[in-house]
Amino acid sequence: MNAKQNKAIQVMGLQKSYKTVHVLKGVDFEVEKGSIFALLGSNGAGKTTIIKILTTLLKQDGGTATVNGFDVAAKADLVRQSISLTGQFAAVDEILTGRENLIMIANLRHLKNPRQIAEDLLNRFGLSDAADRRVSTYSGGMRRRLDIAMSLVGNPQVIFLDEPTTGLDPEGRIEVWKTVKALAANGTTVFLTTQYLEEAEQLADRIVILHEGKIIANGTLADLKKLFPPAKVEYIEKQPSLEDVFLAIVGKKEEN
Amino acid sequence: MQATKKYYFSDMGVMLSRSMRHIFRSMDTIMTVTITPIAMMLLFVYVFGGAIQTGTANYVNYLLPGIMLIAIASGISYTAYRLFLDMQSGIFDRFHSMPIARSAALWGHVLTSLVSNAISVMVIILVALIMGFRSPAGVLSWLAVAGILALFTLALTWIAAIAGLSAKSMDGATGFAYPIIFLPFISSAFVPTASMPKVVRAFAENQPVTSIVDAIRALLSNQPVGSELWVALAWCVGIMVVAYFFAMRIYQKRV
Ligand SMILES: Nc1ncnc2c1ncn2[C@@H]1O[C@H](COP(=O)(O)OP(=O)(O)OP(=O)(O)O)[C@@H](O)[C@H]1O
Ligand SMILES: [Mg+2]
B65-108: pLDDT as tens digits: 999 999 999 899 989 998 998 888 889 889 999 998 888 889 98
Q: Can you tell me the distance from the alpha carbon of A89 to that of A83, in angstroms, rounded to the nearest whole number?
A: 18
CB contact under 8 A, A95 and B255: no
List C-alpha distances in Å: B144 to A199, A206, B184, B224: 63, 65, 20, 13
Q: For A95-111, what is the mean pLDDT?
A: 95
What's the pTM value of the predicted model, to 2 decimals? 0.84
> Which tens digits make up the pLDDT trace of A179-210?
899 889 989 999 999 988 888 888 999 999 99
Q: What percent of chain A has pLDDT over 70?
A: 90
> Band of the pLDDT at A239, cuts 50, 70, 90?
low
> For residue A45, is pLDDT > 60?
yes
**Residue A255 CB burial class (10 angstroms; 0-12, 13-18, ≥19):** exposed
> For residue A24, is pLDDT > 90?
yes
Low-confidence stretches of chain B (pLDDT < 50) are 1
The better pLDDT of the pair A167, A117 is held by A117
Q: Are A172 and A125 in contact (CB under 8 A)?
A: no
CA A225–ligand 1 middle distance (angstroms):
28
Give B108's contacts in chain A (Cβ within 8 Å): none
> For residue A171, is pLDDT > 70?
yes
Q: Are A131 and A55 in contact (CB under 8 A)?
A: no
CB contact under 8 A, A89 and B90: yes
Q: Are A38 and A194 in contact (CB under 8 A)?
A: yes
* The pLDDT of residue A246: 73
A·B CB contacts under 8 A = 66
* ipTM of predicted complex: 0.85
Residues whose beta carbon lies within 6 Å of some atom of ligand 1: A 18-19, 21, 23, 41, 43-49, 88, 195
What is the domain partition of chain B in residue ranges? 2-254
Q: Can you tell me the distance from the alpha carbon of A161 to that of A155, in angstroms, rounded to the nearest whole number?
A: 14
Three-state SS sequence of chain A: CHHHHCEEEEEEEEEEEECCEEEEEEEEEEEECCCEEEEECCCCCCHHHHHHHHCCCCCCCEEEEEECCEECCCCHHHHHHHEEEECCCCCCCCCCEHHHHHHHHHHHCCCCCHHHHHHHHHHHCCCCCCCCCEHHHCCHHHHHHHHHHHHHCCCCCEEEEECCCCCCCHHHHHHHHHHHHHHHHCCCEEEEEECCHHHHHHHCCEEEEEECCEEEEEECHHHHHHHCCCCCHHHCCCCCCHHHHHHHHHHHHHHC
Give A107's contacts in chain B (Cβ within 8 Å): 10, 14
